[in-house]
Amino acid sequence: MNDLDQAKVDDFSGKMLDILNGSMLSLMIGIGYQTGLFEVMANLPPSTSEQIAVVAQLKERYVREWLAAMVTGQIIDYDPTTNSYSLSAEHASVLTQVAGPNNMARLTLVIPFLASVQKALVNSFHNGGGVSYSAYPDFMNLWAEINADRFDATITQKILPLMPDVVEKMRQGVDVLDIGCGDGHILNLMAKAFPNSRFTGYDFLENGIDAARAKAQSLGLTNINLEVKDITTLNEPNKYELITAFDAIHDMAQPAKVLKSIADSLKPDGTFLMVDLAASSNLHENLDHPLGPWLYTTSCMHCMTVSLALNGAGLGAMWGEQKALKMLNDAGFIHVDIKQIPEDIFNNYYIAKR
């Protein structure tokens, strides 16, 4: 230990302090998002904690302590001469609804969600296996909240137009399948936009399908069918003009089998749209990824482990472009284009044909 480079020790100690402070600050940012405090402050002039609490309809003592965390974390500005707090327009543009689908405050909700399974995950490190979906009772609602704005703004305006030939067929009327449809939000958006087409959604989680059916019914949609189904048993050859999978394949226990079933279920000129994380399969090529630690952690604490809990492949969210292309090719997809849209900083859009 005597030959340690003290400068490196000091630098790393500083980095650890930043990590610890950032972790705690993330929890408080999540509270700011859930209580609406950021939205309130974005529309207020510099105000005292009492004034902010009144407008937000929250308890002042909690608001004051939250503000202290925000000030020391350099999220919110503080004027000690007037005892007032303010949220700059620049910070509000990242933390409030003005940010739209790129609201960074919303992403902090993932942290306590994942922390709730830490003990179970440690057990899997020792004994193998994984943490089952049942350990994540709020998963569907959380992911729906994170993704709703993104797909509301992009599915019909930006994503589907990546495939103009498919859009024209959907206007005329075709069969469309969404794999791992969750609460059906994206499927409902498509069904509403293309009333002549017939939409099917499969998910093996019953609560997701129940929520999807309720939403479809509330929207008065009659061109949508939602079923609880294990996708690995999919056997509907040459049926669909379009099959979609939104951030779903990497979670599955048998992704190779699912991709082959998808290929077989498409019409000869059909299209598979796979939306999945934009990353490399090689760790060294992800070193500068702006969300690298966040995504690898999410993968380890959810995506990979739920697959391993089913004795699956454990691909993980960061399976990457190279592996995705190989698996698509192995499944029978000969032509694969990778596209991106500026509104989505997370994903690649794989457009695959047999």
Helices 139-154 and 206-218: angle between axes, nearest 10 degrees = 40
The domain that contains 203 carries what CATH number? 3.40.50.150
Q: Is the pLDDT of residue 326 over 90?
A: yes
Please tell me the predicted confidence (pLDDT) of residue 69: 99
Residue 1, in any domain of the structure: no
pLDDT of 278 > 70? The answer is: yes
Same domain, 82 and 187: no
Domain assignment present for 204: yes
Burial label for 224, CB within 10 Å (0-12, 13-18, 19+), is: buried
**Shared domain check, 179 and 132:** yes
> Does the pLDDT value for residue 2 go beyond 80?
no
Whether residue 189 sits in one domain with residue 264: yes
pLDDT tens-digit series, residues 63-117: 999 999 999 999 999 999 999 999 999 999 999 998 887 899 999 999 999 999 9
- pLDDT at 131 exceeding the cut of 80: yes
Q: 222: closest CA among 258, 262, 263, 194?
A: 194
Q: What is the pLDDT of residues 143-171, one digit of tens each?
A: 888 887 788 889 999 999 999 999 999 99
Half-sphere exposure (Cβ direction) of 78: Cα atoms closer than 13 Å: 14
For residue 270, name the pLDDT band (cuts at 50, 70, 90): very high
Q: What is residue 21's predicted lDDT score, i.e. its pLDDT?
A: 97
Q: What is the mean pLDDT of residues 189-213?
A: 94
Q: What is the DSSP letter of 133?
A: G
Residue 77 and residue 131 share a domain: no
CB 300 within 8 A of CB 292: no
Q: Give the rounded percent of residues in the chain with a pLDDT score beyond 70.
A: 100
Whether residues 51 and 127 share a domain: the answer is no
Long-range contact pairs involving 122-128 (C-beta distance under 8 Å, separation at least 24): 124/305, 124/308, 128/308
Which of 66, 98, 130 is at the close of a domain? 98
Tell me the C-alpha distance between 339 and 160, whole Å.
11
Q: Which two tokens stand for residue 107?
A: 């992403």
Helix (H) or strand (E) holding 227: strand 224-228
Q: How confident is the model at residue 253 (pLDDT cuts 50, 70, 90)?
A: very high
Angle at 241 between CA 239 and CA 242, to 5 degrees: 115
* Residue carrying the six token digits 């284009």: 337
Pairwise CA distance, residues 37 & 29, whole Å = 9
Same domain, 218 and 171: yes
Q: Residue 213 to residues 99, 181, 206, 342: CA-CA distances in angstroms?
A: 30, 11, 11, 31
Segment (H or E) for 86: strand 84-86
Query: Does residue 210 lie in a domain region?
Result: yes
Higher pLDDT, 343 or 34: 34
135: containing domain? 114-353
Instruction: Let me know if residue 79 belongs to a domain.
Output: yes
- pLDDT band at residue 37, thresholds of 50, 70 and 90? very high
The rounded mean pLDDT for the chain is 95
pLDDT at 344: 84
Question: Which uninterrupted H or E stretch holds 269?
Answer: strand 266-277
Give the burial class of 61: count Cβ atoms within 10 A of its Cβ; 0-12 exposed, 13-18 middle, 19 or more buried: exposed
Q: Return the CATH number at 14.
A: 1.10.10.10
How many domains, in total, are found in the chain? 2
53 and 185: one domain?
Answer: no
Query: Shortest CA distance to 277 belongs to which of 234, 245, 235, 254?
Result: 245
Of 98, 131, 149, which closes a domain?
98
pLDDT at residue 232 in the model: 86
Give the pLDDT score at 99. Answer: 87
Read off the pLDDT of residues 300-319 as tens digits, 9 standing for 90 and up. 999 999 999 999 999 999 99
**pTM score of the predicted model:** 0.92
Instruction: Quickly count: other Cβ atoms within 10 Å of residue 75's Cβ.
Output: 20
Residue at which a domain ends, from 52, 71, 98:
98
- The mean pLDDT of 317-344, rounded to a whole number, is 96
Other residues' Cβ atoms within 10 Å of the Cβ of residue 204: 18
Shared-domain flag, residues 93 and 30: yes
Residues 94 and 124 in one domain: no
**3-state DSSP call for residue 347?**
strand
Residue 98, both tokens: 């003005």
Question: DSSP readout, 176-189?
Answer: EEEET-TT-HHHHH
Q: 263 pLDDT exceeds 90?
A: yes
Whole-number pLDDT of residue 1:
61
- For residues 199-222, give the mean pLDDT: 93
Q: Cα separation of 78 and 14, whole Å?
A: 25
Give which of 322, 316, 281, 274 is closest to 295, Cα–Cα: 316
Q: Are residues 239 and 149 in the same domain?
A: yes
Residue 103 lies in a domain: no
- With respect to residue 18, please indicate whether it lies within any of the assigned structural domains: yes
Answer yes or no: is 109 within a domain.
no
Q: What is the pLDDT of residue 148?
A: 79
pLDDT at 246: 95
Phi/psi for 205 (5° steps) reads -95, 120
Do 207 and 337 share a domain, yes or no? Answer: yes
Q: Which residue's entry shows tokens 């449809």? A: 181
- The residues pairing with 175 across neighbouring beta strands, listed in sequence order, are 198
Same-domain status, 316 and 280: yes
pLDDT digits (tens, 9 = 90+) for 228-251: 998 888 889 999 999 999 999 999
pLDDT of residue 128: 97
Residue 16 parent element (H or E)? helix 6-35
